[in-house]
Structure 1
Amino acid sequence: MAKKHIVGIATLALVLAACGGDDSSENSDTSSGDGTISGDLTVLTHRTDIVDTVLEDYKSRFQEKYPDVDITFEAITEYEGDVSIRLNTEEYGDVLMIPAAVTRDQLPEYFEPLGTVEELGEKYRFVQEQSYQGDVYGISITGNANGYVFNKRVWEEAGITEPPASPEEFIDALRAIEENTDAIPYYTNYGDGWPLGQIRGNMGVLTGSEVEIDMAHMDEPWTEGQDIHLIDSLVYDIVAEGLTEDDPTTTNWEESKNLLGTGEIATMFLGSWAVTQMQDAAENVGASRDDIGYWPFPSQTDGTFRVRIGGDYKMGINKHSEHKEAARAWIDWYTEESGYATSEGGLSVTVGGELPDTLQDFEPLDIEFFELTPPPEGEETLYSDIFKTAEIDLDGWLYNQEMIDIARGAADGDKESYFSELNQRWSDARAQVAG
């Protein structure tokens, strides 16, 4: 029987206050005289596709419980960039998804603490991912596994019915797709940028859950045998062999969903959050939801696929909000009562949740799930300090675009020279940061 291990998920004590800490004393304007929670909330969201439908339904359901709280959603297309800029002001909504660019030590500067890791860890998964010095600043809206989404019908037409177990097998599969179907074997989504960083969700499949901690203590991570070398080499080789779209600068994220659904695109490395979006798109263009599948990153250890799980965006509260109690009520309701994680095909954010239907393709496989080990005290920002100093945006995608440009012949260099450059920049930055 296939193994389904969950590795490294903390089980700690829960003491959950309605609004945490001193919120009620600092924000008495969010409660009426009888203690009823009230206030006007602005909620920033990256989900432009459901802001007028699903989120409005959530708002109506929430207001059945909290009729004195009014919510205005602000959907932002270029969420990461725009919200990161707005953090320089105090006007970044009341509740928002914490941008990836915010480092752990910056969390107290922008966000209200929601409780301690120990307090929240028994009930919620992924609480350490947006924590600093023992305090949690964001609660995940859903959980993800990592791997790739693919069109089953296309892969089957190419003769592939089992998940590739190595990068070499994966590239062989893409070659078969190119030779035997009309589909684009792999789609980069270069044009939108952010999807390029999704593949790094597989960091750890080779070396384990302490991959980022280990990387912060080495000088040349782009070396064979290391996760970042494995992942970036795979993308480079796919592009260099011409197994992608003809002109990556013209890709379009929203259209790519439809193209995967129709089978014009075969494969994309994305978190498992993407499965339901691709299924919906398939249905919308007259294809079958059942054509959309999800498999783990093509790498095995002793015959077992390692699959990293982690939280999606984390909801946090603007520390300058005048309605923190109402904001906390929305976060609690969203994570516990809205059903968002399940409806999006994600992993439950509560401890002990089962695999969603979107991961049914994992069922026959030998899989070990793991979470990243949080950095030790005193090294909370070491990893991010190094990559920021090195100007290698491991929280973004610019270096991935540069790598793709080299691979497709649009920029000078080759894989070896680029990896050598990245290693040098990393080593220099590490010496500067760590002394």
Structure 2
Amino acid sequence: MKLSKVLMSLLSVVLLAGLFTGCTSKKDEPAASSDPKGVEGEITVITQRTDIVDTVFQDYAKEFNKLYPNVKVNFQALADYEGQIKIRMGTRDYGDVLLIPGSIPVEELPNFFEPLGTYEEMKNKYTGLEERTVDHNSYGIPIAMVYSGVIYNKKVFKDAGITQLPKTPDQFLTALQQIKDKTKAVPLFTNYASGWALTQWESSLATLAGTKEYVNVTQPNTDDNFTKGQPHYELYKVLYDAAKKGLIEKDPTTTDWETSKADLAQGKIGAMVLGSWAIDQIKSTAPNKEDIGFMPFPTNASKVLVPLAGDFNLGINVNSENKAAARAWVDWFTEKSNYAVEQAGSISPLKGAPMPSILKQYEDQGVVFETLTPSQKGQEGIVDKIDKMGEIGLWQPDFKKRIIEAAVGNRPESYDAIMKDLNDAWVKARAEVAAKEAK
């Protein structure tokens, strides 16, 4: 199973504009009830978890029915969730409860989803609501709060003689070289061929910056986004240097995602840059689950920040005829199922929820886990607008592949040349977006 929302590439808003024409908002029905036994009806819950829809989710339904005996829950799992759900959302029939596709512009959420409450009402209970809030109303609750960094095999690191986890980019590259020199494992697996897996690197941008304000507040207001010394430059320099030094897979063009998970689990790979959503998937094929570890992406920042972001958000179809039952499921799933920890290997969206055991060592070391600061008022979505206008592809694999190809000698260009192209595109697009917004 691939990454869900956080780390999936955003689809074209232009394509969606035509697809979603004709959908209207309808808010004349209640979305909740205080009496569990008084809630009744039949609902369809659509999920991306094809791997557990017939097992774990059936158990969830049984537990849910102990509290809500008069609600029948049906499940549908989509293998290509984003692609398939956007087609269904061109009609009114897209289930009762579903995961909000990342491809829907935030301002369009009221046309498709029932408001779950005001942000002020819900913010003290849940983390990560900002991403799916419009005009003070929240339309989705994260199914998990994911974190990103490096997933690694502890045994491989031990066999390579690495006694302390690397904290800086230079130390990380040194560790990868030790793995190459002293073991048979691939030091750093890029998953180049999958494309989408390369977008995982972008999730660690805030770690390189060392501040939760950088991504949404500083980045859209700077013309130095890809210049030397800046977070983007330093982040992807690690990828370039690792590839140039032969510390990645021998033939990146033939990599396979499913195989890579098993190879990392079994010690054939040292490390991969991924989100926490992948941890349990990798552990499931490991001879010893304790061999799988997580570390923050190496950084030179004085403060080690691991950003938290909402995974897919759970929402209610605005056209649902059983909104009270749908809301009951949303509340039960987010509060009672423990899906976030047990199935997503991440953190519960409930405020005050304990950290997973895999992260406890970093809490003791002073590593900070925080959600990113939202965009400033009037700049909502500005990074995406600049990204699209400049055809940069922050959450697309293209320039990451370009970096790898240049590093291994398949493209006649330097890392600095690539960064200059990206920065020039950013500066031009930023000016164009500013001019457009000023009209």
TM-score of the superposition, structure 1-length normalised?
A: 0.86
Tell me which residue corresponds to 1:254: 258
Measure, in 2, the Cα distance between the counterparts of 1:410 and 1:72: 50
Cα offsets for 1:395-428 (capped at 9, x unmatched): 3433333433333334453322221111122122
Runs of 5+ in structure 1 lacking a partner?
1-20
What is the CA distance between 1:38 and its match in structure 2?
A: 2.9
How far apart in 1 are the matches of 2:411 and 2:319? 45
Letter in structure 2 aligned against 1:58: Y
Corresponding position of 1:111: 113
What is the CA distance between 1:337 and its match in structure 2? 0.7
Q: Tell me if structure 1 keeps the 8 A contact 2:212–2:305.
A: no
Could you tell me which residue of structure 2 aligns to residue 6 of structure 1? none
What one-letter code is carried by the residue in structure 2 that aligns with 1:315? L
The answer (yes or no) to whether the contact 1:104–1:380 under 8 Å persists in 2 is: no
Aligned to 2:400: 400
Pair 1:414–1:84, CA change in 2 (3 A): farther
Residue 61 in structure 1 maps to residue 45 in structure 2: no
Counterpart AA for 2:190: T
Cα distance per residue 1:15-45 (max 9 Å; x no partner): xxxxxx995x4379x99xx983233323222
Report what 2:3 is aligned to.
Answer: none
1:328 is aligned to: 327
Asked if residue 210 in structure 1 is aligned to residue 209 in structure 2, the reply is no
Matches of 1:227 and 1:331, distance apart in 2: 37
Alignment partners' CA distance in 1, 2:278 and 2:354: 18
- Residue by residue over 1:272-329, the C-alpha shift from the partner in whole angstroms, topping out at 9 and shown as x without a partner, is 23222222221xxxx1011111111111433x42222222221112223333222211
| Corresponding residue of 2:5 | none
Q: Which deviations, in whole Å up to 9, do the C-alpha atoms of 1:336-390 show, x marking residues without a partner? A: 0111123133222111122111224425523122221011222112111111222
Are the aligned partners of 1:211 and 1:227 in contact in 2 as well (CA < 8 Å)?
A: no
* 1:243 equivalent in structure 2: 247
Task: Name the SS of the counterpart of 1:47 in structure 2.
Answer: coil
Q: What is the identity, as a one-letter code, of the residue corresponding to 2:235?
A: I
Pair 1:317–1:193, CA change in 2 (3 A): farther
Q: Which residue of 1 aligns with 2:386?
A: 386
Residue number in structure 2 paired with 1:264? 268
Partner of 1:281: 285
Question: How far apart in 2 are the matches of 1:379 and 1:278?
Answer: 38
Q: How far is the alpha carbon of 1:243 from its aligned partner?
A: 1.3
The answer to whether the aligner puts 1:414 opposite 2:418 as a matched pair is: no
Mapping for residues 50-199 of structure 1, pairs under 5 Å: 50-199=52-201
* Residues 76 and 290 of structure 1: CA distance in aligned 2, closer, same or farther (over 3 Å): same
- For 1:227-238, what aligned pairs fall within 5 Å after superposition? 227-238=231-242
Aligned to 1:310: 309
Against the structure 1 CA distance between its residues 113 and 258, is the aligned structure 2 distance closer, same or farther, given a 3 Å change threshold? same
Matched length: 406
Residues 244-266 of structure 1: CA distance to partner in whole angstroms, max 9, x if unpaired? Answer: 11222322222222111110111
Aligned pair in 2 of structure 1 residues 349, 27: CA closer, same or farther (>3 Å)? Answer: closer
Residues of 2 paired with 1:229 and 1:87: CA distance? 38
Distance (Å, rounded) in 1 between the aligned partners of 2:231 and 2:105: 22
Supply the distance in 1 between the matched residues of 2:106 and 2:408 (Cα, whole angstroms): 36
Counterpart CA distance in 1 for 2:336 and 2:231 is 37
In structure 2, give the amino acid aligned to 1:430. Answer: R
Mapping of residues 303-382 of structure 1, within 5 Å: 304-344=303-343, 345-382=345-382
Judged with a 3 Å threshold, the aligned counterparts in structure 2 of structure 1 residues 211 and 187 are, in CA distance, closer, same or farther, namely same
| Structure 1 position 191, deviation (Å) | 2.7
Change (3 A) 1:127 1:237: same
Give the secondary-structure state (helix, strand or coil) at the position aligned to 1:145: strand
Q: Structure 1's 88 and 224: CA in aligned 2 closer, same or farther, altered over 3 A?
A: farther
Distance 1:22 1:37 in 2: 20
1:320–1:408 distance in 2 versus 1, CA, 3 Å: farther
Letter of the 1:349 counterpart? P
Which of 26, 29, 32 is matched with 2:29 structurally?
26
Aligned CA RMSD, in angstroms, stands at: 2.4
CA contact (8 A) 1:27 1:322 kept: no
Query: Partners in 2 of 1:396 and 1:111 — Cα distance?
Result: 27
Whether the 8 Å CA contact 2:338–2:348 is kept in 1: the answer is: no
Distance in 2 of aligned mates of 1:323 and 1:239: 53
